[in-house]
Every structure is written in C-alpha cells, then in structure tokens.
C-alpha cells in the first residue's frame, strides 16, 4: 500500500474534470487519490501530514498562458519604478522625486508606464519636468508603449548612444524608436538583477495562485531561469516562448518545442502579426472609429508564411500575436500554409477581433485561441475599445463564448495586465457583452486545463486527478457562490508539487 505524504480533508475541491470532492491525497509531488475524507484517511501513515481545510475551496493552481514575468519582476524589485497608475503628470513626478530620495547620487532611475492621455495635463513628460525633481540623478521615464521616453539633463550627459536626429529632441529630452531602444539596451539589468526579478515575480505568482506560466522571453531571461533552475531555486514552472528573431539559434542548437523538464521547458516561437488597438496599429479590415487608418501588418504575407513554415518544419509550436481581424487572417494563412493540424497545437495570441469565419478555420486547423479575459474590463461604452472601434465591434471584442461555441479551444492568460487569474475570471464571468461571458466553472477550466493543453501538458496538469502534479490552491471563498465579487477572493495557500509555498 502506498501511503500519502499529505492529505487535505473536509475541503470543497473543484477537480475541473470530475466534479467536486472533499479530500485529496498527495505523494511524491503528485496526486495519489481524490475522493471522500473518511476513505482517503486510510492512506495516512504516522508521518502523513493531514490538513483539515474546514470547507475551504480548493482549485488546481492556475496556469497563466500568456505572461511577461520579468517585466512584473523588475517592477516588484524596484528596478523599474511603475508610473502606470499615476493619474497626473504631477503625481508621476512626485513618485520619481520620492524614488530619487532613496537612490544614491548618480545611479539611474528607470521609470516606466506613464500614459499622458490619462492625465489632466494631456502632455508628455519632458526634460524640464524631470530636472525639477532630479537635478543630480540620471532619470529615464518610458512611456507605456515603450516607443517614446523622456530623459533629464543628467541622463543626457551620460548618454553613450548616438541619437538619430529624427528620433531625438534634445530640448525636450525626448527619444523615440531605435534611439530609445539603444538607450534602454545600455540600461539592461544584470544577470543577478534578472534572477532577483524572477524570484520576486514568483512570490507574486504564488500570492495570486499561479504555479505555472507561459512566458514570452529573450535569451537573457532564459539565462536567468536556467541559472535558478540549475540551483534548484526556480519555484515556478516556466514554459518559455522565444521571439522569432532567435529562431535560427534554436534550430542550430537542435532544440524544439518540449525540450526541458517539468519545471523549465521550451515552448513555442512567438511572432507579432500586428500591434495593439490602443496604439491604433492592430490590423483591421475597417478603419478605426477615431482615426483614418486600418492599422498595419508587421510582415508581408510571403515573409510571414516563410518564417512560420520554417519554425513549423523544425518542430516548433507557433504562437502568433494577432489582435485585429486582418492580422488574424494573415496568421491563419501562414499557419495553414505551414501545414497546421490539431496535433501541433499552434496558437493565436489575443485574437481580440476574431470573426465567425475565422473561428471555423481555427477549428479546422486545430488552432488554440490564447485569450486574456481581463481585457474585457476595457470593453463597454466610453472605455478603451469602444471609442477606437465603435459600438458594434466593441460588442464582439474578446468573444470567449463564441469561441467555445465554435469548438475552438481557449487557453487563458493575463498578459500581465494585470497579472492575476482571479481578476481575469471575474471579468469573464461579469463581462459587459453576452458574447464574452462565461460561467465560473468554464473560466476556471480555461485558466487551468485549457492552459495546460496549450503547452501539451493536459495529461499531467490542469485538473486534480490521480497521477497529476499536486499543484493546487486554497481560496478564501468559493467563486461559484458570489460571482459578483470574484476579484475580492484571496488565495490563502498555494502548493507546488505538494509543497506549501
């Protein structure tokens, strides 16, 4: 007889696949049995730890299928000062001022996330503003979209990049595009800082009930994950998805999707077919409501076809960021051309303006819709989508209900906006439009089993069944009880491979 290391009893366990149960036994990091308390207590040996949960709700730990963990981590460690919540230019400057006071002279302060459209001042941060609060420290303040940044005079003195004249306004201290990115390259975090960022973000993930993520990465991020994993210090399962510009290195090294282990695994190759609705560069068929443009595709179709096929032929899963309806067609065209089929599980990321015809094609090609239910927080009159797209397109943005009805699989993730599955589930359940709305059970399933399927791990993760990973969470309340306040539920405990974090 196999005895359990841990038995949770008197719980309200949502197994996701087998209905509810009230006890679960764990051995060697895996689930040994799920069932009734009095039955499972027979698996107890003297050393077995027994936890009486007094009716608390247990779910499989969440898997976030679209994340940028390092960005969250650098904010957590303070490497980046977050300005995204500032409601005025003055407030942003105040934050920078207090950070300056806690920073050694001449050390860089890197602030990011400001959005002048949300401010009453309605103008960019400028060199003169920053000089006022930071006369002795070099300061760079990155706009939310990453395409524009403001620097102060001290930063200009320390600039080692040669600005392109058309991308540099010295008087106002504004840098754009390539010049901006060249400066940011100079300010990259060290390997040590990246590892600290991963650990800080992992602690945040645990507080949010997340034990696994599908992360979009650059080589330095992989280096940080690999170094921590080698030291047995990576407390999060990471399915890492490199951007397509690194494809040739992976092909040359003979690596492909699935390489790695149950903690750190190579995932898909990430493409960007278009931009975002906020920046009006998501590619649409009909023009934006508030500007005379239809956005833009990032690739010529032939080039996208060629690259996607190359990755597909070398054994890679493919994930294509495609937000606008025109970009989704470009992505589908390239995936079909490459020979997409259900067993390859290629993915479209976001798929915000997906049409019924496109959903049919996705089902035929076995393509997963990797969606972010938190995005519907910006749907509805006067919010983010409606002024850009008009009322009709707003009502069918992020149509989770329609996607499922078409027989297309969904994986839920957050894109870090914000990180936190319960927040996303809250919005999927309380979405403004019927086409977006899901039941609590459906939304939980997409943030667990749906995400596990998107990394080929549905046999070992995503539900609470014997033989699967013992990754689970304990909630303060049952989300099916009061569906209007799911975003107020706290994750009280998170377990990774049967260990409480």
Q: What does the binding site for Zn ion look like in residue numbers (CB under 5 A)?
A: 415
Tell me if 337 sits within 8 A of 299, measured CB to CB: no
Number of helices (H), then strands (E), belonging to the chain: the values are 17, 25
Tokens of 111: 């602030």
**DSSP, res 257:** T
Looking only at the bridges linking them, the beta strands covering 210-217 and 472-475 are unpaired
Q: Which is nearer to Zn ion, 64 or 415 (CB)?
A: 415
Closest CA to 411 of 222, 271, 268, 304: 268
Q: Which is nearer to Zn ion, 100 or 269 (CB)?
A: 269
Cα separation of 406 and 85, whole Å? 37
| H-helix segments, 277-324 | 301-313
Q: Which is nearer to Zn ion, 174 or 213 (CB)?
A: 213
Tokens of 414: 């957050």
Q: How far is the CB of 349 from Zn ion (least distance, A)?
A: 7
Q: How far is the CB of 182 from Zn ion (least distance, A)?
A: 23
Q: How far is the CB of 353 from Zn ion (least distance, A)?
A: 16
Q: Which is nearer to Zn ion, 76 or 415 (CB)?
A: 415
Q: How far is the CB of 278 from Zn ion (least distance, A)?
A: 13
Distance spanning both ends of the chain, measured CA to CA: 28
Q: Which is nearer to Zn ion, 214 or 344 (CB)?
A: 214
For 177, 367, 472, the CA distances from 163, given in Å and listed in that order, are 10, 42, 50
Q: How far is the CB of 417 from Zn ion (least distance, A)?
A: 8
Q: Which is nearer to Zn ion, 415 or 471 (CB)?
A: 415
Q: How far is the CB of 279 from Zn ion (least distance, A)?
A: 13
- State the residue for tokens 């990180």: 419
Cα angle, residue 229 at apex, residues 228 and 234 outer, rounded to 5°: 75
Q: How far is the CB of 108 from Zn ion (least distance, A)?
A: 26
Q: Which is nearer to Zn ion, 386 or 415 (CB)?
A: 415
Q: How far is the CB of 277 from Zn ion (least distance, A)?
A: 14
Cα separation of 453 and 447, whole Å? 10
Q: How far is the CB of 104 from Zn ion (least distance, A)?
A: 33
Q: Which is nearer to Zn ion, 214 or 265 (CB)?
A: 214
Looking only at the bridges linking them, the beta strands covering 237-242 and 80-82 are unpaired
Q: Which is nearer to Zn ion, 214 or 361 (CB)?
A: 214
Q: Which is nearer to Zn ion, 60 or 275 (CB)?
A: 275
Chain centroid, CA 14 distance in Å: 24
Other CB atoms within 10 A of residue 402 CB: 17
SS3 474: strand
Q: How far is the CB of 66 from Zn ion (least distance, A)?
A: 6
Q: How far is the CB of 87 from Zn ion (least distance, A)?
A: 25
Q: How far is the CB of 149 from Zn ion (least distance, A)?
A: 20
**H/E stretch holding 209:** none
3-state secondary structure labels for all residues of 39-72: HHHHHCCCCCEEEECCCCEEEECEEEEEECHHHH
Backbone angles phi, psi at 464, to 5 degrees: -100, 95
Give percent helix, percent strand, percent coil of the chain, each to the nearest 5. 40, 20, 40
Tell me if 14 sits within 8 A of 20, measured CB to CB: yes
Q: Residue with the closest Cβ to Zn ion?
A: 415
Cα separation of 95 and 454, whole Å? 40
For 212, 226, 269, 494, the CA distances from 452, given in Å and listed in that order, are 9, 21, 17, 18
Q: Which is nearer to Zn ion, 196 or 415 (CB)?
A: 415
Q: Which is nearer to Zn ion, 96 or 367 (CB)?
A: 367
């Amino acid at each position: 007889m196999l005895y359990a290391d841990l038995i949770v009893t008197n719980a309200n366990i949502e197994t996701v696949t087998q209905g509810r149960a009230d006890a679960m036994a764990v051995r060697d990091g895996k689930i040994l049995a799920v069932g009734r308390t009095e039955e499972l207590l027979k698996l107890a040996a003297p050393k077995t730890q027994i936890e009486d949960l007094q009716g608390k709700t247990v779910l499989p730990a969440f898997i976030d299928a679209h994340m940028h963990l390092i960005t969250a981590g650098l904010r957590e460690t303070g490497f980046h000062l977050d300005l995204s919540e500032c409601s005025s230019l003055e407030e942003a400057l105040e934050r920078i001022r207090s950070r300056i006071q806690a920073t050694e002279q001449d050390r860089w302060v890197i602030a990011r996330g400001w959005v002048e459209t949300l401010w009453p001042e309605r103008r960019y941060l400028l060199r003169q503003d920053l000089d006022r609060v930071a006369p002795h420290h070099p300061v760079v303040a990155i706009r939310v979209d990453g395409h524009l940044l403001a620097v102060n005079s001290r930063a200009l003195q320390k600039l080692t990049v040669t600005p392109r004249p058309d991308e540099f306004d010295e008087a106002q201290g504004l840098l754009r595009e390539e010049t901006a990115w060249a400066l940011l390259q100079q300010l990259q975090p060290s390997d040590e800082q990246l590892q600290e960022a991963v650990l800080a973000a992992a602690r945040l993930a645990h507080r949010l009930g997340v034990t696994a993520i599908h992360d979009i990465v650059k080589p330095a991020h992989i280096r940080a994950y690999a170094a921590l994993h080698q030291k047995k210090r990576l407390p999060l399962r990471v399915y890492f998805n490199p951007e397509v510009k690194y494809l040739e290195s992976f092909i040359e090294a003979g690596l492909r999707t699935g390489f790695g282990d149950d903690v750190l695994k190579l995932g898909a190759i990430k493409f960007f077919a278009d931009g975002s609705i906020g920046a009006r560069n998501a590619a649409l068929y009909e023009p934006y409501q508030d500007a005379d443009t239809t956005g833009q595709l990032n690739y010529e179709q032939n080039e996208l076809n060629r690259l996607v096929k190359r990755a597909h032929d070398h054994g890679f899963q493919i994930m294509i960021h495609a937000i606008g309806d025109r970009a989704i067609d470009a992505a589908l065209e390239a995936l079909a051309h490459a020979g997409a089929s259900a067993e390859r599980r290629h993915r479209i990321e976001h798929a915000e303006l997906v049409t019924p015809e496109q959903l049919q094609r996705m089902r035929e090609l076995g393509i997963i819709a990797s969606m972010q239910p938190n995005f519907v927080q910006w749907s509805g009159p006067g919010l983010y989508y409606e002024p850009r797209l008009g009322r009709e397109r707003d009502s069918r943005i992020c149509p989770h209900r329609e996607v499922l009805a078409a027989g297309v699989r969904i994986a839920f993730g957050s894109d870090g906006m914000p990180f936190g599955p319960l927040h996303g589930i809250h919005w999927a359940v309380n979405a403004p439009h019927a086409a977006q709305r899901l039941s609590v059970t459906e939304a939980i399933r997409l943030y667990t089993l749906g995400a596990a399927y998107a990394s080929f791990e549905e046999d070992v993760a995503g539900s609470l069944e014997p033989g699967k990973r013992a990754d689970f969470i304990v909630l303060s309340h049952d989300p099916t009880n009061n569906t209007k306040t799911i975003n107020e539920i706290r994750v009280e405990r998170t377990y990774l491979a049967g260990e409480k974090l």
